[in-house]
Amino acid sequence: DAKTTQPNSMESNEEEPVHLPCNHSTISGTDYIHWYRQLPSQGPEYVIHGLTSNVNNRMASLAIAEDRKSSTLILHRATLRDAAVYYCILRDVRSGGSNYKLTFGKGTLLTVNP
Amino acid sequence: DSGVTQTPKHLITATGQRVTLRCSPRSGDLSVYWYQQSLDQGLQFLIQYYNGEERAKGNILERFSAQQFPDLHSELNLSSLELGDSALYFCASRDSPWGTDTQYFGPGTRLTVL
């Protein structure tokens, strides 16, 4: 699996935007970029994923660099509930439709200050 | 609520014992994944089942085994338990290979080996 690099931790203030970076310089053309987060004492939850174009959903936006070597997860207005560990994961679509695993790194611990 | 259920929530046992963790995937999901989260190793993939068949293996010890039953629920069996097996165990299910490519995680089982 291609490797991703994220800052160990980031801090934000409530109701401000948060930009969580992820570097993946060895990404291949068939790697999707997935983001999951893990709130305290809970299982990971899906946030967003994309391939080349920027993506938006109700939780967040994903901005993907033109060369795809980096991406940024954007939380438009952080709330206290967004405090979590955020994982950036690459998933190769060639690994098969019915079998793939998620390889989690250490992620970024986001602290949201009131 | 992800729709994935895991029982029990907590399990405390002694070294050398055997335990069984249970997971029910979301309705209609055929794939079940097991992950282990410990303080020193982070979230690690253990094993995957698809419609009753083992599809992929990760860092799963020989003392551990799993199966998926015809009703699609899965069990993870951990035997000859050691102190180092204390961890959070998550299962996840995934929608169809042609769906949103998302894994949905359960709330986890916290295993403490004394």
Task: For A40-76, write each residue's pLDDT tens digit.
Answer: 989 999 999 999 999 999 999 999 999 999 999 999 9
- Yes or no: say if A101 and A44 are a contact pair by the CB < 8 Å rule: no
pLDDT of residue A92: 78
Q: How many residues does chain A have?
A: 114
CB contact under 8 A, A101 and B92: no
Comparing CB atoms, the residue among B42, B97, B107 nearest residue A104 is: B42
* C-alpha distance from B90 to closest chain A C-alpha (Å): 7
Cα A25 to Cα A22: distance, rounded to the nearest angstrom? 10
Match 């282990």 to its residue by tokens.
B36
Q: Does B103 touch chain A (CB under 8 A)?
A: yes
- Give yes or no for residue A97 having a pLDDT over 90: no
Question: Using CB atoms and an 8 Å cut-off, which of residues 12-71 of chain B contact chain A?
Answer: 30-31, 33, 35, 42-45, 48, 50, 55-56, 58
- Give yes or no for residue B97 having a pLDDT over 70: no
pLDDT of residue B95: 74
B103 phi and psi angles, rounded to 5 deg: -100, 135
pLDDT of residue A95: 61
Match 């955020």 to its residue by tokens.
A86
Residue B1 buriedness (CB in 10 A; 0-12 / 13-18 / 19+): exposed
